[in-house]
Amino acid sequence: MPTAAMLLRKFNSVKTLPHVAIRLSKLISDEKSTMQDFEKMIRMDPTLVLRLLRLVNSPYYGLKQKVDSISRAVVFIGMKNLRNLIVTDALKEIFREDPASEIFSRKKLWLHCAAVSICSQMISERIFGQEGENAFLCGILHDIGMIVEDQVVRERFLQFCNTPKTDSSPITQYERSIIGTDHCQVGHLLSRDWNLPVEVQEGIKRHHSILEDVSPSSITGIAQISEYIVSKLDYPAMPGMDPILSPPLADHLRERLQEYRALAKDLPDEMSKAKELYESPEE
């Protein structure tokens, strides 16, 4: 049976983030970085400039006046949102490569990840009053391990997708019995290779784990709650893949049920506004 590390060694579609994303991450972590540093770096990628200006002038930000300069655009969306834009762009094409299968669709998985990322940011900001950029990043990446499995061990992966789940155990238990590893482990290693924030790495690693001590406001807790809500709203990763909430998160959801109902009601509108972020111009 292959391990997560073995799968990643064979995975050749998106082993590293684009060079511009790596440089951006370094600039974000450097307190001495200036706006001029960011603008100079962004100008090196004309496609990124176009995407940045399209995004900041989209309904997602709802600005009254058009923004036509890179520096103003970066000020409006923030450095971490810019990082998320670059990461999201880097993932789109590989998710859209959709080999024929009646069982699994990369396009549907991408819609699921987009919904989880937007819902995660909403939960972080609206329920807990904290920054939501890392919650978004975890959401957009949480199932990236499935893409690795689909490419590297496709026959086993499709067997897993087509295996009926008959009890309340985590879906990853079935996955490991068929593939030898699971998409959470694979995604965690990939996010670690990309030097993403540790809390994002942990959220990817544990978003299907049944945990007794998880905090609802943590990235892991938010990822689990978001995936649960999104799946109930008919944005599943795949048919029959119903996520299970850790006990502390189920209790939290019951205690704040009305707030989450309001959030779930608003999610379709938020996704509509955010299409500029996760869909390509031609879609």
User: CA 204 to CA 185: how far, in whole Å?
Assistant: 8
Domains, the chain, ordered by start: 4-16+99-278 (1.10.3210.10)
**Could you tell me where the beta strands, DSSP code E, fall in the chain?**
none
pLDDT of residue 281: 47
Mean pLDDT of 140-152: 91
Percent of the chain with pLDDT over 90: 41
What phi-psi label fits residue 240: left (phi over 0), alpha (psi between -120 and 50 degrees) or beta? left
What phi-psi label fits residue 63: left (phi over 0), alpha (psi between -120 and 50 degrees) or beta? beta
Mean pLDDT of 233-257: 90
Residue 16 has pLDDT above 60, yes or no: no
Structure confidence by residue, pLDDT tens digits, 157-182: 999 988 766 667 788 888 999 999 99
126 touches 64 (CB < 8 A): no
